[in-house]
């Protein structure tokens, strides 16, 4: 018999096609805003993490699988055990990471910096596949310059989504136009090397294993300005001074980073406005004003 917590809609028939000897217990756990998530136990005491995306094919998890397999060559990640389609739903099976709330942030900063030392194979910005988060699909078509990639394939696409939701205001448009001029001016003196990025590095996308070592999860990889990842780390907190010291000890940031990083914070706040609504309008407006004054 399989033990489970009440109220879970997961169909246990899925377990028959997973590479698990026998699932003895399962329970719903937090898995972010996009997927349903479950913790599974087998009869030998091993634990697994199962993500399910309703009404999608296997391709839904393609980019996450690609990203985990790519960054795992440099940093610690969960291991991809299986992914596929069950009925009308996509699923992804990972090994479960026993974790604790705190660990070595200095090491985490150094590991991120080491990841950023990995270069684009064609010296361009982008990736060989797009990825989707909610209703936003990130266009990763290769570009030879970072300025056009970031403006055209990140900010402009998000602005369209926000406008379609009726949340883009005339005040935002005025500040946005000024901010883009500032960004282009800053890029005249800064030419970032296209680095391998995690792509979605907020505080919910790392953990620490029982030894205190950092484990990176849920990547949305592409090759871009390494300051993009650092900008995201500043939006919701969770990264302390040791993290940034570890990063800079391993791979020091270039002059002027304090002026550029807010544009990557703007990207992440615009993404949240596009997905989660008016609660983020004030934050986007505030960040637009900051970027427009650089």
Distance CA(227)–CA(197), nearest Å, equals 9
pLDDT of residue 2: 43
pLDDT of residue 30: 74
Which residues are 48's β-sheet partners? 40, 95
Residue-level length of the chain: 294
User: For 254-269, what is each residue's pLDDT tens digit?
Assistant: 999 999 999 999 999 9
pLDDT of residue 10: 82
* Sign of the CA dihedral with 109 first, then 230, 222, and 103 last: positive
- Residue 200 annotated among the catalytic residues of the structure: yes
Q: What is the pLDDT along the chain (294 residues), one digit of tens a residue?
A: 344 444 446 888 999 999 998 999 999 987 555 778 999 999 988 999 999 998 889 999 999 999 999 999 999 999 999 999 999 999 999 999 998 889 999 999 999 999 999 999 999 999 999 998 888 999 999 999 999 999 999 999 999 999 999 999 999 999 999 999 999 999 999 999 999 999 999 999 999 999 999 999 999 999 999 999 999 999 999 999 999 999 999 999 999 999 999 999 999 999 999 999 999 999 999 999 999 998
Q: Yes or no: say if 163 and 63 are a contact pair by the CB < 8 Å rule.
A: no
Q: Which domains does the chain have, with CATH numbers?
A: 3-95 (3.30.200.20), 105-292 (3.90.1200.10)
C-alpha dist (Å) from residue 250 to 111, 124, 159, 208, 270 = 8, 23, 35, 20, 30
pLDDT of residue 250: 98
The 10 Å Cβ neighbour count of residue 289 is 14
Indicate whether this model's pTM tops 0.85. yes
Torsional class of 277: left (φ above 0), alpha (ψ -120 to 50), beta (otherwise): left
Of 134, 274, 182, 294, give the one whose Cα is nearest residue 284. Answer: 274
Of 29, 47, 85, 32, give the one whose Cα is nearest residue 220. Answer: 32
> Catalytic one among 89, 157, 200, 225?
200
């Amino acid at each position: 018999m399989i033990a489970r917590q009440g109220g879970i809609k997961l169909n246990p028939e899925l377990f028959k096609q997973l590479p698990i000897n026998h699932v003895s217990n399962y329970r719903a756990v937090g898995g972010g805003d996009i997927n349903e998530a479950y913790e599974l136990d087998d009869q030998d005491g091993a634990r697994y993490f199962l993500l399910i995306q309703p009404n999608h094919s296997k391709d839904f998890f393609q980019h996450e699988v690609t990203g985990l397999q790519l960054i795992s060559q440099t940093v610690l990640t969960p291991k991809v055990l299986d992914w596929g389609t069950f009925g009308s739903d996509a699923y992804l099976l990972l090994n479960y990471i026993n974790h604790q709330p705190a660990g070595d942030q200095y090491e985490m900063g150094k590991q991120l910096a080491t990841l950023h030392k990995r270069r684009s194979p064609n010296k361009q910005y982008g990736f060989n596949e797009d990825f989707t988060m909610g209703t936003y699909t990130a266009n990763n078509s290769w570009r030879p310059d970072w300025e056009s990639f970031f403006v055209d394939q990140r900010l402009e696409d998000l602005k369209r989504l926000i406008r379609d939701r009726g949340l883009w205001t005339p005040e935002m448009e005025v500040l946005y136009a000024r901010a883009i001029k500032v960004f282009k001016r800053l890029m005249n003196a800064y030419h970032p090397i296209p680095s391998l990025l995690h792509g979605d590095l907020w505080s919910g996308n790392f953990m620490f294993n029982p030894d205190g070592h950092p484990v990176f999860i849920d990547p949305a990889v592409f090759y871009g300005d390494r300051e993009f990842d650092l900008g995201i780390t500043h939006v919701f907190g969770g990264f302390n001074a040791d993290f940034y010291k570890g990063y800079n000890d391993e791979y020091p940031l270039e002059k002027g980073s304090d002026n550029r990083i807010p544009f990557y914070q703007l990207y992440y706040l615009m993404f949240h406005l596009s997905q989660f609504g008016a609660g983020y309008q004030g934050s986007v407006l505030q960040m637009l004003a900051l970027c427009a004054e650089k």
